[in-house]
């Protein structure tokens, strides 16, 4: 088979949506039992991993076997790392202030509002953002240099995410750093190494999908674009910096440190 088969891919879109929905509804049930919605952040990475695995199973005999394995492994590794990190970070803490603020605006039943605005919305985003993961597995063309370039971009992203998260966790664990701004390690190069890493991960997966042909590229280009908007102007960088504004040392940190893309800090202060 040399052509992208639209029929099986269209069926996979439905199964991927069902998978994301099942993960989010199960998480919603657990959240109601715990009376805590922050666990949806753990489910975010797990949902992507689940979609990748389901697509891998359904695409057998359709796409290039090597690309199917590659994109599944990359997605599962990223999703599981993120889920474990968020679970550890949130252990022993109460509700996330973001969700408290969101639910404070609810009119009527708070649980139904949470279902719509948190779980169903995130499930839809998982389906949309995972399009490169789905399309790549139905692309029949053999792997070429573009797939390995995408893997390299993905690797840079995972490095920035993993190392940045670890550096921040060590910084916060030291009582001497209470009230201080993290400006060490990767955090000297960008104010958001974890978000920049996420950016690279999804553009890397998009390149792996592009390696399969124009059809896979066309149906999945919306994914890295949406993720980029969310990370830079949506619930990522913009929201976090709004919360950080006014803290001691924050303005000086902003003045010398790149807002998103890594670069050496300005000056030598």
pLDDT in tens, 129-166: 999 999 999 999 999 999 999 999 999 999 999 999 99
pLDDT at 171: 93
Q: Band of the pLDDT at 268, cuts 50, 70, 90?
A: low
pLDDT at 179: 84
Contact 129, 202 (CB under 8 A): yes
Cβ contacts of 252 within 8 Å, gap of 6 or more: 269
For Cα atoms 1, 136, 18, give the angle at the middle one, nearest 5 degrees: 105
pLDDT at 9: 96
Calculate mean pLDDT across residues 25-54. 95
pLDDT at 42: 95
- Mean predicted lDDT score pLDDT of the chain: 92
Q: What is the largest CA-CA distance in the chain?
A: 61
What pTM was computed for the model?
0.93
pLDDT at 269: 46
Contact 44, 123 (CB under 8 A): no
Among residues 50, 44, 91, which one has the least CA distance to residue 72?
Answer: 50
* Lowest-confidence segment of 20-24, 107-111, 166-170 by average pLDDT: 107-111
**Please, what's the b/e burial string for 235-259 (b: 16 or more CB within 10 A of its CB; e: otherwise)?**
ebbeeeeeeeeeeeeeeebeeebbe
Calculate mean pLDDT across residues 71-84. 97
Better pLDDT: 215 or 97: 215
Calculate mean pLDDT across residues 245-264. 90
Q: Which two tokens stand for residue 245?
A: 């504004």
d(CA 210, CA 218): 8
Residue 114 predicted with pLDDT over 80:
yes
Calculate mean pLDDT across residues 84-101. 85
* Lowest-confidence segment of 100-104, 172-176, 200-204 by average pLDDT: 100-104
d(CA 232, CA 260): 8
Calculate mean pLDDT across residues 201-228. 96
């Amino acid at each position: 088979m040399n052509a992208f088969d639209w029929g099986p891919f269209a069926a996979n879109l439905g199964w991927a949506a069902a998978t994301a929905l099942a993960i989010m509804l199960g998480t919603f049930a657990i959240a109601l039992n715990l009376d805590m919605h922050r666990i949806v952040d753990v489910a975010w990475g797990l949902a992507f991993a689940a979609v990748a695995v389901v697509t891998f199973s359904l695409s057998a005999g359709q796409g290039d076997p090597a690309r199917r394995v590659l994109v599944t492994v990359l997605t599962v590794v990223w999703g599981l790392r993120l889920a474990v990190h968020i679970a550890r970070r949130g252990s022993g803490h109460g509700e996330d202030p973001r969700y408290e603020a969101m639910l404070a605006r609810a009119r009527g039943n708070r649980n139904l509002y949470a279902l719509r605005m948190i779980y169903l919305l995130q499930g839809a985003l998982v389906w949309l953002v995972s399009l490169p993961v789905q399309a790549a597995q139905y692309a029949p063309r053999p792997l070429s240099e573009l797939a390995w370039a995408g893997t390299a971009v993905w690797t840079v992203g995972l490095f920035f995410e993993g190392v940045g998260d670890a550096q921040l966790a060590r910084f916060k664990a030291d009582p001497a750093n209470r009230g201080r701004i993290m400006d060490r390690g990767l955090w000297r190069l960008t104010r958001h190494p974890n978000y920049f890493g996420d950016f690279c991960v999804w553009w890397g997966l998009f390149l792996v999908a592009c390696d399969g042909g124009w059809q896979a590229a066309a149906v999945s280009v919306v994914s890295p674009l949406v993720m980029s908007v969310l990370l830079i102007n949506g619930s990522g960088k913009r929201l976090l910096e709004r919360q950080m504004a006014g803290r001691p040392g924050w303005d000086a940190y902003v003045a010398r440190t790149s807002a998103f893309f890594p670069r050496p800090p300005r000056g030598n202060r």
